[in-house]
Structure 1
Amino acid sequence: MAGKQQAPLVVSLPLGVPQPGESLQRWLYAALREAILSNRLPSGSLLPSTRALAEHYSLARGTVQAAYQQLQSEGYLDTGSGYGTRVSAVLPDVTLNAGYVRRRITPPAEQQREAPITQWAQRLAAEKPVFMGGAVQPGLRPFFPHRGDVLAFPIDLWRKLHTGHLRSSRLLDMLDADPAGLPALRSAIVQYLSIARGVQVSAERIVILGSVQQALDLTLRLVVAPGERVWMEDPGYPGARQLMNASDVAMVDVPVDREGMQVEEGMRLAADARMAYVTPSHQAPLGGELSPARRLALLRWASENGSYIFEDDYDSEYRFVAKPIPALRSLANTDASVILAGTFSKLLFPSLRLAYVVLPPQLVESFTRLVSLTARHANSLSQAVLADFIAEGHFDRHLRRMRKLYAARAEAFSDAAQRHWQGLIDVPPIRAGLDVVCRLQAGDELDAKARLAAEGIDVMPLQRYCVKPQPPGLVMGFAPYNEAAIEGAAKDVARILSRR
Structure 2
Amino acid sequence: MGTPDPKEGLQRWLYEALRRAIVSGRLPADSVLPGTRTLAQQYNLARGTVAAAYEQLLSEGYLVTRTGSGTRVSTVLPDPRHHAKPIPASSIAAHAGFARESHAPWIKRLKENDPPFPLSGANTLPQPFFPHRGDIRLFPIDLWRRLHVRQLRPSRLLTLNDTSPAGLPALRSAIAEHLAIARGVRVPPEQIVVIGSVQHALDLCMRLLTGPGDTVWMEDPGYVAARQIMHASGARVVDVAVDHDGLRVHDGIREAPSAALVYVTPTRHAPLGVPLSSERRAALLQWAAANGTIIFEDDYDSEYCFRSHPLPALRSLPGADQHVVLAGTFSKLMFPSLRVAYAVLPPRLVEPFVRAASLTVRSANGLTQAVLADFLGEGHFDRHVRRTRKVYASRAHAFERAAQKHWQELIDVQPAIAGLDVIGRLLSVDEHTAVQMLKAAGIDAPPLGQYTRRHRHPPGLVMGFAAFNEEEIDRAAQQVATVLREAT
Q: Please say if residues 300 and 332 of structure 2, whose CA atoms lie closer than 8 Å, have aligned partners that are also in contact.
A: no
Deviation at residue 197 of structure 1 after TM alignment: 0.3
C-alpha distance in structure 2 between counterparts of 1:356 and 1:301, whole Å: 25
RMSD of the TM alignment (CA)? 2.5
The one-letter amino acid of 2:359's match is: L
Corresponding position of 1:6:
18
TM-score for both structures, normalised by structure 1: 0.80
Q: Tell me the TM-score normalised to structure 2 length.
A: 0.82
Paired position in structure 2 for 1:287: 273
Q: Displacement, 1:123?
A: 1.5
Matched residues in 1 for 2:459 and 2:86: separation? 58
AA of the residue aligned to 1:407? A
How far apart, CA to CA, are the structure 2 residues paired with 1:110 and 1:146?
38
The equivalent residue for 2:57 is: none
Distance 2:294 2:120 in 1: 35
Within the alignment, does 1:153 sit opposite 2:132 as a pair?
no
1:6 Cα deviation from its structure 2 partner: 3.0
Q: What's the % identity of the aligned pairs?
A: 55
Structure 1 residue 46: deviation in Å?
3.9
CA distance in 1, matches of 2:28, 2:263: 59
Counterparts of 2:380 and 2:329, CA distance in 1 = 17
Unmatched 5+ residue regions in structure 2?
Answer: 3-13, 32-69, 76-84
Distance across 1 between alignment mates of 2:431 and 2:398: 23
Secondary structure, in 3 states, of the residue corresponding to 1:382?
helix
1:445-478 residue CA offsets vs partner (Å, 9 max, x unmatched): 1211111111111111111100022211000100
- Matching residue of 1:487: 474
1:84 CA drift (Å): 6.6
Aligned residue for 2:263? Answer: 277
- CA deviations over 1:276-323 (Å, ceiling 9, x no partner): 000000100000000000000000010000111000002111011111
Question: In the alignment, which of 365, 368, 377 is matched to residue 391 of structure 1?
Answer: 377
Distance in 1 between the 2:171 and 2:338 partners? 14
Instruction: Report SS of the residue matched to 1:256.
Output: strand
**How far apart in 1 are the matches of 2:310 and 2:92?**
63
User: Tell me, what secondary structure is at the counterpart of 1:397?
Assistant: helix
Counting only pairs closer than 5 Å after superposition, residues 233-252 of structure 1 correspond to structure 2 as 233-252=219-238
Equivalent positions of 1:134-145 (< 5 A) are 134-135=120-121, 138-145=124-131
C-alpha displacement at 1:212, in angstroms? 0.1
The answer to whether the aligner puts 1:197 opposite 2:183 as a matched pair is: yes
Q: For residue 98 of structure 1, what is the aligned residue in structure 2?
A: none
Equivalent in the alignment of 2:459: 472
Report the equivalent of 2:45.
none
How big is the shift at 1:125?
Answer: 3.1
Which AA in structure 2 matches 1:6? L
What is the aligned residue count? 423
What is the CA distance between 1:240 and its match in structure 2? 0.2
Q: Cα distance, 1:339 vs. partner?
A: 0.4
**In the TM superposition, what are the counterparts of 1:10-21 in structure 2 within 5 Å?**
none
Once the two structures are superposed, what CA deviation does each residue of 1:4-25 show, in whole Å capped at 9, x if it has no partner? 7334599xxxxxxxxxxxxxxx
Residue 351 (structure 2) pairs with residue 365 (structure 1): yes
Does the CA contact (< 8 Å) of 1:283 and 1:314 recur in 2?
Answer: no
- What letter is aligned with 2:467? P
Specify the alignment match of 1:35 in structure 2: none
User: Is the CA contact (8 Å cut-off) linking 1:231 and 1:252 kept in structure 2?
Assistant: yes
Match in the other structure for 1:124? 110
Equivalent residue letter for 2:413: V
SS in 2 for 1:453: helix
Matching residue of 1:455 = 441
Distance 2:28 2:432 in 1: 58
Aligned counterpart in structure 1 of residue 315 of structure 2, from 329, 339, 359: 329
Quote the residue 2:420 is aligned against.
434
Secondary structure of 1:310 counterpart = strand
Letter in 1 for 2:124: P
SS of 2:320's equivalent in the other structure is: coil
Q: Deviations over 1:242-272 (max 9, x none)?
A: 1112111110000001110000000010011
Question: Which amino acid in 2 is paired with 1:216?
Answer: L
